[in-house]
Chain A
């Protein structure tokens, strides 16, 4: 591959040295045209010459997330410039989301294998969403969790024999409908009395015998949420 120009934004001298070493040894195509330890240094460098890739640390000096702002400005001024975030913020997931929204092409966490040739090259080849392994592990864990949750909802429907009326009933209870109001819904062909029976029935299904005493509508709905039978994020009433 042809040579390309890189600016490294890093406020820690020691770390900067390590990053430089990595680039020099692993990615010989990279020509480091400058390093900046702060925001003003960086913009001065940018005026001197445009790089192909900016290796950006998020926290600079006292400004701990200034990198996000830099990234946003860079992206708005130079739409084609490659921006790879190289950060020690290994716990702050929120920040990752912010910087990706600001237009970063990838995030490399400063842990594990640090920066590798493949990551840099992928970004240079125009790939978006380039992440190193520790980052992907974290994303994967979150993903797994979500998938499991969804599966749990499916399992709960089977295990507790939940039909669409049960779900509708619980959902409307969660929305604060009274049984009379639920009985008045078009999709609920039940009387108030049979809804009461259904509630008792649901309580028996969702709670073990020992837990059943004193279970009211609120407790029942909370249980349904815990078992992912209804989704608190997605509570919408049916048409009247």
Chain B
């Protein structure tokens, strides 16, 4: 009925009908005329009539031919919009299919095809009512439908389906009724791929089809088909095998064609056969141009290019391909492109450039080609996904059939579910109750215990480290005490010096007893010399034991600490600029830090606001030069020289202005450190120190340390070749191929890829295989192996298609179509009803039950996740558990949860405690390290200072003594007296200076006064020195470590049978060491604790007592040695702890 109405003839439509027919007939003859006719038909048809629909179809076809696909689709949408004429709608469907086939959209293609087939069924049921014009339209639509489908399947690689469709088309093709479709059909058969048989048979059959098309099209001026036939024939002839076969078997036709194109054969450089092929191609191009078909012109140009390429005339080939691309790039701006077609042109260009040796452009075009292949693959994948959706829709349809059944099932299930919910709620509750005894809880507890154990082990390790470090700190403290002791000996010279000074001055006075004065000076000098000798002895004695702690370390460690001073610099409006580095040096790390720090501190002191201090590095193979540069006030040349050259300088006299004074002893210390490196070993000969400075401009202080190469670099160099060697497996071979191609080793690349392809006997990884074939193709292309290239590329493209082919697209589209059946309404209604009743059920009954259960589940989940994440969150555990208990909605669960909380919390608390002790131990370790480094640096510098004092002042006492001797012998005159006075004054000055420098490096507040049980000290003594101790419960105030050191010293100088005891006398506690059977001689006893003593230990003891005395506020602590009835005793007093 529907169709009948729309097929009614209208007398007004007759002229339009004829114009439309004309347009159709001119379609393959003259595009412009065809368009003109269609437009006329449109104009003369009534609005929205069938004639207009047909005219629009014709106009759309012209648009299609001119590659304006968007416009064509727009026109077709218009037809769909107004027309009810099923025949014209069928034609529109078929044209849509044609467009979709060309732009490679599978889904819309099949949609249109399904629509067309449905319409066709309706039209065929009323075929008898059709007018002759309508009948012709129907035939056109039918042949076109099958030919387009065939073409679609052919390009998809489904040859069987393609042949089936073309055979179907044969049923409707009739030369008498429609020449156009007849030509189209035969051209399709001739253009390749649709004929079965041996290669020779295929060639001959195709040639026959093409020749028929050519002759007829030429005779009836179907330009389109003439050009198409020529193009295909040209391609055929350019193949030497096919050409020979044709010459043998179809000589007449071949000769005919040859004669036809004789006048085109002008290119004498080509062989005759290629001239012939080129001539046909040229003709084809010319015809298409004349016919205004962009797409086909570009195709013909491509064929021409391929002919030239086959003839190895690459320049001409390039020209043809470029023209083709040029045409195509005009078209690219349109939203729909014919991607595969463009891709083919790019491939041709890539090959041609490769043949011409332009590797770069060849690669560029190959990449574009591959991108386009990938693009079309992606498009297809998109289609597949849509198809997948369609499949889902289909399964929904099956559900519909089961819907009623489902409704019943749902109701039954709802009841069952409701009942089960109750029992599940109960079991959930049970589960929550069971957590405490459950496996997870046990596991959590175990993990917690394990962690606790680990933490405790770490804590023990830390504590051991702490102990070790503490011992090292103690060693440094003891060493420091020794240094202070030595320094006190150094100071002991000063009163002598002052006496000498006084005596020399007295010499000048009138009535003085010169002989007495001079001999006293001599005695004093002798005294000083004894002290000096003693000092030298001690310093030398310890030199062997104390050396620098040289390690290899990255300078960045030291510079990082320096750069942390930014704030102090910015407060003075200075910029501190510390270089970044990965250099490594071999040196003493704390001392290096001390040196850089000293120089940076000095620079800060002497740089005015707004200045810049920078730490820079410069490395040679042997050393790294660290320099500290500033934009400060600078030094005069004399000062710089003094700093560089002399061992001793007076810091108060250096510097250009008053600000510059007070330079400190830093530079002296730095130089001392460099000196001790050089003394240590010849490895450190590169060590050096220097100053460059200019008044008003700034200074640069630098020092050099031996450089070591980074360990990492060695590792890298060693591992480099290993990584490159012996590729293994397909992936490695692929990598090698890629690398070889990149490096231009194409022969290797071809070999590697062939090996890899052989290895992949089971193509599990299609993508890898595609990539391998691609690389092989690139290699072959670069090598100019065209056959190899074609094989590889064809395989590459085939696999590429294989990856994306979706053969089920058609059936999916059909199923999707069925979904639109009317029954959908019913389906929706039933579903709505079901949903409504379920919603009611949910609202009234289920919701509360579910909420109850959800809260139980949630509780369970929270507890479980807490238990699982527990060890990480040990700290937050207590709070979390408490909050769970507090917000509990089920009062019956409160008790078991509280028990759980207590159990876990107690364990967590234990862990926390250990962890915090661990943290504490770590911090203590850090403090010890810091303390150690600080003391170490001071000791090291004191070593240097003491040795400088020794070296620089040794000579003076003997010199003074000699002068005094001379004076005694030869008498005194004004000049010698003056000289002597100068000498003594100078000696004192230098001496005081050096003492001050050393004094700055002593740690005055190093004593840790605390209550100490004498019993503990005695226990230490008896344990370490196996000495007898009287029991005591005295408690004194002191530094335990130093007191132990005191006992070490004491027990080193007394015989092993000495007895220790403690005694309270005159508000002090005395610790007494009794020695039996020996007495001290009076002379020795007097000098026992003086610098003239024979053992350093006595002086160390004195130093310890002295420092305790100072720490207690000088109560006059005693250290005495006196003879007793049975022998002698050494006693020292300390303040009792009150």
Contacts and interface: CB of A to CB of B under 8 A. Distances in A.
B495 A63 contact: no
A135 to B, nearest CB: 13
B414 interface: no
A95 B1112 CA distance: 12
Interface string A198-239: 000000000000100000000000000000000000000000
Contacts of B503: 18
A25 B1116 CA distance: 33
A12 B495 contact: yes
B392 interface: no
A233 B920 CA distance: 36
Contact of A63 (B502, B520, B1086, B1120): B1120
Contacts of A11: 1086, 1090
Contacts of B494: 88, 90, 111
A112 interface: yes
Contacts of A3: none
A21 B1110 CA distance: 32
6 contacts: A14-B524, A61-B1120, A62-B1088, A67-B1116, A95-B1114, A110-B499
A44 to B, nearest CB: 12
Lowest 4 A-B CB distances belong to which pairs? A62-B1119, A69-B1116, A62-B1089, A88-B495
Given A12-B495, A14-B524, A62 B1114 contact: no
A63 B1116 contact: yes
Range for the number of chain B residues in contact with chain A:
35 or more
B779 interface: no
A62 B495 contact: no
A51 interface: no
B744 interface: no
A114 interface: yes
A62 B1121 contact: yes
A210 B523 CA distance: 63
Contacts of B573: 210
B300 interface: no
B696 interface: no
A67 B1114 CA distance: 10
Nearest to B1107: A64
A111 B498 contact: yes
A43 B1106 CA distance: 22
A89 to B, nearest CB: 10
Interface in B1102-1135: 1102, 1105-1106, 1109-1110, 1113-1122, 1132
Contacts of A112: 498
Contacts of B1088: 61-62
Interface string B482-496: 000000000000111
Among A25, A62, A95, residue most surrounded by chain B Cβ atoms (within 10 Å): A62
A88 B499 CA distance: 11
Contacts of A67: 1116
Contacts of A63: 1105, 1116-1120
Contacts of A69: 1115-1116
Nearest to B1105: A62
B527 interface: yes
A12 B1090 contact: yes
A192 interface: no
Contacts of A125: none
A88 B1102 CA distance: 16
B1102 A64 contact: yes
A14 B527 contact: yes
Interface in A57-93: 61-70, 88, 90, 92
Interface of B is mostly: helix
Contacts of A21: 516, 520
A39 interface: yes
Given A62-B1098, A62-B1105, A67-B1116, A15 B1086 contact: no
A98 interface: yes
Interface in A105-122: 110-114
Contacts of A110: 495, 498-499
A75 B713 CA distance: 77
Contacts, number: 98
A64 to B, nearest CB: 4
Contacts of A47: none
Contacts of B1122: 40
A111 B989 CA distance: 13
Contacts of A114: 498-499, 502
Contacts of B512: 25
Contacts of A13: 1086
B835 to A, nearest CB: 66
B1101 interface: yes
A17 interface: yes
A24 to B, nearest CB: 10
Nearest to B509: A25
A204 to B, nearest CB: 18
Contacts of A25: 512-513
A14 B513 CA distance: 18
Given A18-B503, A210-B573, A66 B1118 contact: yes
Among A18, A38, A95, A210, residue most surrounded by chain B Cβ atoms (within 10 Å): A18
A13 B1132 CA distance: 23
B1012 to A, nearest CB: 20
A63 B1090 CA distance: 10
A186 interface: no
Nearest to B516: A21
Interface in B496-546: 496, 498-499, 502-503, 505, 512-513, 516, 520, 523-524, 527
Interface string B893-921: 00000000000000000000000000000
A65 B1106 CA distance: 8
A98 B1113 contact: yes
Contacts of B523: 14, 17
Contacts of A39: 1118, 1120
A15 B495 contact: yes
Contacts of A61: 1086, 1088-1090, 1119-1121
Given A14-B527, A113-B502, A65 B1086 contact: no
A211 to B, nearest CB: 8
Nearest to A70: B1116
Contacts of A15: 495-496, 499
